[in-house]
Structure 1
Amino acid sequence: MAQFRPAITGHGLDRDDHTRADPANLAAMRARPDARLLSMDGLMPHMDGDALVWTALDAVPDDAELVFLGLKEGIPLFAPVAEKGDTRPAYEQRGNRALLMQLAPRELAIYAGARSLVDWHARHRFCANCGKPTTLSKGGWQRDCAKLDTGNGAGTGTGGCGAPHFPRTDPVAIMLIEHDGDLLLGRGANFPERSYSALAGFIEPGECIEEAVAREVLEEVGVIVGGVTYVASQPWPFPSQLMIGCHGYATGRQLTLDETEIEDARWFTRAEIAEALSGSETSSFRAPPSEAIARTLLEWWMERGV
């Protein structure tokens, strides 16, 4: 599977967890003359061709909220927290994604982690438990609600509850479903014309990956699935998901679509998938783009053979 590394992986950073937990060491990292800040306009990075743009930290105010991304070849990297996050669904961000795909693979992976973190901070400035303001801590890998100030002991202070909050990653199962050598692919209402992709859905609390795959396929297309195996995973920073790629076998081919989730679903032959992956304009469907793990899964399946 090594030759099928999904896009948006391979950042190569030393996350340096020990520095995150040491305020004095973190401050020293921030003060280093070689420390670099990711240049961003809100959540979008400034780019120089296929590379990210980095600047010095000497003009950054001491109270600015910065996330410590880690070390790249020993150099500390930081990213600024945006004023506001992006709550748009992923399909509305296709224009941004197309621009970002110009980045070199490692640069894209570094940006993806930074975007997920700064977007989370921008949208979690208040405690979900008590509603009071939170502050960035552990180099941006945590936010803390200030502890309650009980004042004279009456328990009526103006502080918060002291709850810690951690960056969120939502797990998503994305799956190729096979039957008699054909693959089941579907399309949502917001897909580009002729585009089909692997079925996918969020893994729910109290559910393992295999159960999520079986449930989502049954709900979306009415097909019973067994023999689920893991293939590969990919972070997806729109806003912050972990795509868990799987393969499973269907017990039958009859489809019953949930039209609130799926506009269409079809079984495709190996020849049809090969033609779509080749980019042919005469193919029966348009394959997922290179940045999507669904593309990686299709390439893996083709290489895997019958």
Structure 2
Amino acid sequence: MKTAEQVTFGGAGLDRAAHLREQPEMLASMLAEGNAQCLILWRGKILVRGERLDRLAPLAAHHDIVVNGPAGPVSSPLFLGIAADGLPWFVRDISAWAPGDLETAALDSFLDQSEQQHPDLPTGHVFAELRRIMTRLSAEEAELAATAKAILGWHHTHKFCAKCGEPSESTMAGWQRICPSCGGAHFPRTDPVVIMLITHGNKVLMGRSPGWPEGMYSLLAGFVEPGETLEAAVRREVFEEAGVQVGAVTYLASQPWPFPASLMFGCAGEALSSDLNIDPVEIEDALWVTREEMMTAFAGEHPVLLPARKGAIAHFLLQNWLADTLD
């Protein structure tokens, strides 16, 4: 695909400098020098600033929140890498902080519109849901935010050894957990997911899950199972959800999706027929949408259909399908 890496979170060349993860003295020196940038996360939300919340709001490594802030599952900053300007980036989790009058119903949801202001930070520095502001960030900042959210999300859900059940400890600057009891080593998890642009002539297959905003449809998607190729996963998921047999399958683009830990593999598939047999357990609805109807939906003029939200790889694939820029 000609523009494959232009997808949100597609990467901007962050040097992950993995060799430094085994050099705690060097990382400590970077933090002490004062030029290190430290992202702050609270319950998976990113600290951002700006009138449109379109910029990350990193803190200096010596800031009191970085040094003494209430910790999440990891109490020290984790190393993300070296940015293009040569500055080292870290992330610090302060999930133990408890804002007053906190509404928890929408947290961890793409519907979360709430913002949390820490009392020790300037006005306008707020924690915001990444899915809400992801398309406003630069490519470099989006990559940093996605990496930070993914690695901290893994620590939150993997505090115990998967071999013996005892508490594990962070090591390798946050990129590994070791069990002191049995010696088991555990590494950040990524779940492969296929998301499919399934076409039949001039039409594309769209589906919706229960609980989505009214009128919102997206491409079908599903997790890759053990022992399964991407192509097989595409054919299985489309048949399970919509009863559509798929022939040729090709890979298009990928997107890290840290909600919580997926890697989305965008694929194109050719449907062998347009007959639908929807499994209501899998999806709420599915339908075929013509190119002309999708163009109307993207223009915001369709009476019913809402396209996949901006920033998601589904929106990216559909946009390139309409522009005829798919390889």
- What is the Cα-based RMSD across aligned positions, in Å? 2.3
Task: State how 1:195-206 maps to structure 2 within 5 Å.
Answer: 195-206=216-227
Given the superposition, is the C-alpha separation of residues 243 and 23 from structure 1 closer, same or farther in structure 2, using an over 3 Å criterion? same
Confirm or deny: 8 A CA contact 1:179 1:250 kept in the other structure: yes
Confirm or deny: 8 A CA contact 2:77 2:92 kept in the other structure: yes
More displaced, 39-48 or 227-236?
Answer: 39-48
Q: Determine the structure 2 residue equivalent to 1:300.
A: 320
Structure 1 residue 3, shift from structure 2 partner:
3.9
- Give the number of equivalent residue pairs: 289
Q: Determine the structure 1 residue equivalent to 2:57.
A: 53
| Secondary structure of the structure 1 residue equivalent to 2:109 | helix
TM-score by length of 2: 0.82
Of 59, 72, 76, 1:65 maps to 76
Structure 2: runs of 5+ lacking an equivalent: 97-104, 113-128
More displaced, 69-78 or 92-101?
Answer: 92-101
Task: State how 1:33-44 maps to structure 2 within 5 Å.
Answer: 33-44=34-45
Matched, 1:77 2:94: no
Q: Determine the structure 1 residue equivalent to 2:29.
A: 28
More displaced, 8-17 or 112-121?
Answer: 8-17
| Secondary structure of the structure 2 residue equivalent to 1:211 | helix
Structure 1 residue 122, shift from structure 2 partner:
1.9
Q: Determine the structure 2 residue equivalent to 1:124.
A: 158
TM-score by length of 1: 0.87
Confirm or deny: 8 A CA contact 2:198 2:268 kept in the other structure: yes
Q: Which has the larger Rg?
A: 1
What is the rounded CA distance, in whole Å, between the counterparts of 1:283 and 1:105 in structure 2? Answer: 33
Matched, 1:94 2:114: no
Q: Determine the structure 2 residue equivalent to 1:114.
A: 148
More displaced, 56-65 or 124-133?
Answer: 56-65
What is the rounded CA distance, in whole Å, between the counterparts of 1:258 and 1:89 in structure 2? Answer: 28
Given the superposition, is the C-alpha separation of residues 119 and 24 from structure 1 closer, same or farther in structure 2, using an over 3 Å criterion? same
What is the rounded CA distance, in whole Å, between the counterparts of 1:165 and 1:51 in structure 2? Answer: 33
Structure 1 residue 279, shift from structure 2 partner:
1.8
The one-letter amino acid of 1:259's match is P
Confirm or deny: 8 A CA contact 1:90 1:238 kept in the other structure: no
Structure 1 residue 178, shift from structure 2 partner:
1.0
The one-letter amino acid of 1:14's match is D
The one-letter amino acid of 1:273's match is M
Given the superposition, is the C-alpha separation of residues 90 and 168 from structure 1 closer, same or farther in structure 2, using an over 3 Å criterion? farther
What is the rounded CA distance, in whole Å, between the counterparts of 1:65 and 1:300 in structure 2? Answer: 42
What is the rounded CA distance, in whole Å, between the counterparts of 1:283 and 1:200 in structure 2? Answer: 25
Structure 1: runs of 5+ lacking an equivalent: 147-159
Q: Determine the structure 2 residue equivalent to 1:172.
A: 193
What is the rounded CA distance, in whole Å, between the counterparts of 2:308 and 2:150 in structure 1? Answer: 22
Confirm or deny: 8 A CA contact 1:13 1:71 kept in the other structure: yes
Structure 1 residue 61, shift from structure 2 partner:
5.4
Structure 1 residue 297, shift from structure 2 partner:
0.7
What is the rounded CA distance, in whole Å, between the counterparts of 2:210 and 2:319 in structure 1? Answer: 24
The one-letter amino acid of 1:79's match is V
| Secondary structure of the structure 1 residue equivalent to 2:150 | helix
Confirm or deny: 8 A CA contact 1:9 1:106 kept in the other structure: no
What is the rounded CA distance, in whole Å, between the counterparts of 2:205 and 2:134 in structure 1? Answer: 29
Given the superposition, is the C-alpha separation of residues 305 and 243 from structure 1 closer, same or farther in structure 2, using an over 3 Å criterion? closer
| Secondary structure of the structure 1 residue equivalent to 2:132 | helix
More displaced, 14-23 or 243-252?
Answer: 14-23
What is the rounded CA distance, in whole Å, between the counterparts of 2:43 and 2:208 in structure 1? Answer: 31
What is the rounded CA distance, in whole Å, between the counterparts of 2:141 and 2:325 in structure 1? Answer: 33
Structure 1 residue 11, shift from structure 2 partner:
3.9
Structure 1 residue 15, shift from structure 2 partner:
0.5
What is the rounded CA distance, in whole Å, between the counterparts of 1:206 and 1:89 in structure 2? Answer: 36
What is the rounded CA distance, in whole Å, between the counterparts of 1:210 and 1:271 in structure 2? Answer: 28
More displaced, 39-48 or 179-188?
Answer: 39-48
